[in-house]
Each structure stands twice: as structure tokens, then as C-alpha cells.
Amino acid sequence: MTQITRDDVRHLAQLSSLQLSDQEIDALQTDMVSILGYIEQLSELDTTGVEPTYQVTGLENVWRNDTVQSGVSPDTLLEIAPASHAHQIKVPKVL
């Protein structure tokens, strides 16, 4: 059975960009042990030589005409951004 430690939960939270509290980490550790314990039963199934199905439509290479269409204006998009400055979205320092 896959073991999930608190450090594993912290690592996954980092991969998922979630800044979790200690309490949340404890709760998620318990839940993930239970969930992974259940889904592990899939390993019993013999899938040798079976191709995976990532999507069910069977569609391949769907094309559309490369024509300009009216879309949403930059002003409208800036209006719904949490912060903007000089017609750009404002964010904290990256480095």
C-alpha cells in the first residue's frame, strides 16, 4: 500500500501551488491514504497490450478556418483583473 507522509503531502501541495495550513496537511494525509487505498485496487486488473483511452470521440486533428473573429476587448479583461496599472495586469515582484 502506498504510504503518504506529511512531507509527501507538503511536496504535492507545493507542486499544486497550495499554501496549506498544518491542520489541512494532517486532514489531507488521512484522506489521501483512504482514497489511494481504494484506487490501488486497479492494479489487480490485467491491462497487458491494452491501449489507453484519453478521449472518447475518436476525433483527430480538428481544423477550423484561420479567420479573425471579434473577441473580448483588452479593456473588458482588465476590468475583471484584481489589479492593473498602465493598461497592464499588476502582480507582485517575480524575483
Spatial distance between the Cα atoms of 28 and 10, rounded to a whole number of angstroms: 10
What 8-state DSSP symbol labels residue 85?
A: E
Q: What is the contact mask toward another protein in residues 19 to 38, using x (rule: CB under 8 A)?
A: xxx--x--xx--xx-xxx-x
The reply to whether 72 sits near another protein by the rule CB under 8 A is yes
Contact pick of 6, 7, 26, 81 for another protein (by CB under 8 A): 81
Residues 6+ apart with CB under 8 A from 4: 29, 32, 33, 36
The reply to whether 1 sits near another protein by the rule CB under 8 A is no
The reply to whether 12 sits near another protein by the rule CB under 8 A is yes
CA distances from 81 to 13, 47, 72, 75, 91 (A): 25, 47, 14, 10, 10
By CB under 8 A, name the binding residues for another protein.
2, 9, 12-13, 15-21, 24, 27-28, 31-32, 34-36, 38-43, 45, 47, 50-57, 59, 62, 64, 72, 76-77, 80-83, 89, 91-94
